[in-house]
Amino acid sequence: MQGEGDPALARSSPAPDLARSIYLLWGHHPSPGRSGLSVTAIVAAGIEIADADGLDAVSMRKVANHLGVGAMSLYAHVPGKDELTALMVDSVHGELYEDVDAAARAGDWRAAMKFVVAQNWALYERHPWLLDIRSSRPNLGPNISRKYETELRPLDGIGLSDIEMDAALTLVLGHVDSAARARRSTVRAQAESGMTDAEWWGVVSPVLSQVMVDDDLVLSARVGSAVGAQFNAAQNPEHALAFGLDTILDGIQARIGQR
């Protein structure tokens, strides 16, 4: 049986690749060389492709074509798409904040959290492919790390433990993520159907009023009609974002006040 120090086991471990990825994220890049090709240029090209056509459209070959170089030349700088994606994610998160005190300068902790939400909401709008990145293990690059620092600072000293600060921030950011997904779904539905939400609701609403006559559906019919009248749609991600955020912040404030 292979032991803990067995060379064969060490060779099969993902740890060296993981360490290499972290070094790459933190700026330990190969020199550009005579071609002038660099990690920065490769990452920028990947982001341009993803912004235009989605994350699935990004490949090492397409990035190489975008840069006008051979695909194999990229591998001297970035080992593969997984590493490229991690670099892209970290790069765009550098757009969020001017410095690590940016959120704290927005006002009290509630105002700061609203600023954090607005910044992340706008980031998802610029780079919707970020919503396709799903992992329970964070991308530990410099910009992601600074983002975490920036977003935690307004919560420090308000009466939450360190674990609660992390949980509160996770809850807030998860809410933004959910609302951004709803917004993307709305955008896609409009593109695929050729109808705006208002046009769709204008067709669906009168039909529903005729068919939803079951007494068991009185409440859902009433509430659904109210939502449709308010937003000319079955949902409004922006309203859901604002309402949910206020509810979350009220809950955090109440928790602090109970101590």
Q: Which of 49, 72, 92 is the last residue of a domain?
A: 92
Q: Is residue 99 part of a domain?
A: no
pLDDT at 81 over 60: yes
d(CA 148, CA 166): 9
pTM of the complete model? 0.86
How many domains does the chain contain in total? 2
Q: Are residues 151 and 68 in the same domain?
A: no
pLDDT digits (tens, 9 = 90+) for 210-239: 888 888 888 998 999 999 999 988 899 999
Please check whether residue 212 is in contact with residue 247, taking contact to mean a CB–CB distance below 8 angstroms.
no
What is the chain's mean pLDDT, rounded? Answer: 90
pLDDT digits (tens, 9 = 90+) for 146-157: 999 999 999 999
d(CA 101, CA 76): 37
Q: Which domain holds residue 44?
A: 7-92
Based on the number of CB atoms within 10 Å of its own CB, is 258 exposed (0-12), middle (13-18) or buried (19 or more)? exposed
**140 in helix, strand or coil?**
coil
Please check whether residue 87 is in contact with residue 40, taking contact to mean a CB–CB distance below 8 angstroms.
no
Residue of 120, 10, 31 whose CA lies nearest to 76: 31
What are the tokens at 63?
A: 């990035």
Please check whether residue 104 is in contact with residue 112, taking contact to mean a CB–CB distance below 8 angstroms.
yes
Q: Which of 37, 67, 92 is the last residue of a domain?
A: 92
Q: Is residue 43 part of a domain?
A: yes
Residue of 189, 24, 172 whose CA lies nearest to 90: 24
d(CA 44, CA 87): 10
Q: Is residue 125 part of a domain?
A: yes
